Amino acid sequence: VGLILVAVVIGGLAYYTSHRDRRGAAPAAVGQKLLPTLAVNDIERMTLVSVGSTASVLRTKDGWVVPEKYNYPADFNKIRTALQTLADLKIGQPIPATSAQKAELNLLSPRLPATTNQEGQCGMEIALSGGQGKSPLTLVIGKQHERVATGSGAGGYPDSRYVAGADGKVYLVTELLMEF
C-alpha cells in the first residue's frame, strides 16, 4: 500500500512538471488559422525574398506571370496550391522567442542590411499583396522542426516548421511549406 501511494505521488509530480510549461502558452491560439484574414482570390502579387534573391508572381488579366522573366506564364496550379496552403495554415504552438532564438530558428528577415544580415540565420519572407488600399501580409518561414525518432536509433524527421508573422510573433505550424 505504501509503494502504491509513493507511485501515485511520483506520477502526480511527473504529470505536474511536464504540463507546467504548457500553461504559459496561449492554448486558445493552437489550432487557429495563422492568417485568418487571407482571402486567396484577392491576392494579386506574391513575392518571395531570401538572402540575395527575390522572385515574384503577378496576377494579370491573362493569368499569373513572372515579371522578372519578361512576364513568362507561371503555373497556376502551383500558385493556387501555395496560396491555399497559406490560407489553411494552422498554429501548432506559439513560441515565445527572443531575437537570438529567432536567429537560431532562421527567422530573421532576409531584408536586413548586409551588415546585420547573418548568413544562415535568415528565413524566406513571403509577401502577399492584394488590391488597392489593402496592406500586404508578410510571413517569414524558418527552420523545419524535427520530430525525434524513438526506439529505432535513426535520426528524426521533419514534422512542422517555425514561422514569424509581421508582428514578430513566432509559431510552430503544422505544415512543412514545401511549396515555397
- pLDDT tens-place string over residues 32-91: 999 988 899 999 999 999 988 999 999 999 999 999 999 999 999 999 999 999 999 999
Diameter over CA atoms, the chain: 80
Instruction: Report pTM.
Output: 0.77
CB 157, CB 120: distance < 8 Å: no
pLDDT tier, 25 (very low <50, low <70, confident <90, very high otherwise): very low
DSSP assigned state of 33 = B
Q: What is the 3-state secondary structure (H, E, C) of 119-151?
A: CCCECEEEEEECCCCCCCEEEEEEEEEEECCCC
pLDDT tier, 22 (very low <50, low <70, confident <90, very high otherwise): low
Res 116: pLDDT: 58
Res 88: pLDDT: 94
Dist. CA 97–CA 165, nearest whole Å: 12
pLDDT at residue 114 tops 70: no
Q: Whose grid coordinates read 494579370?
A: 60
| The three cell numbers locating residue 178 | 514545401
Res 147: pLDDT: 80
DSSP assigned state of 154 = S
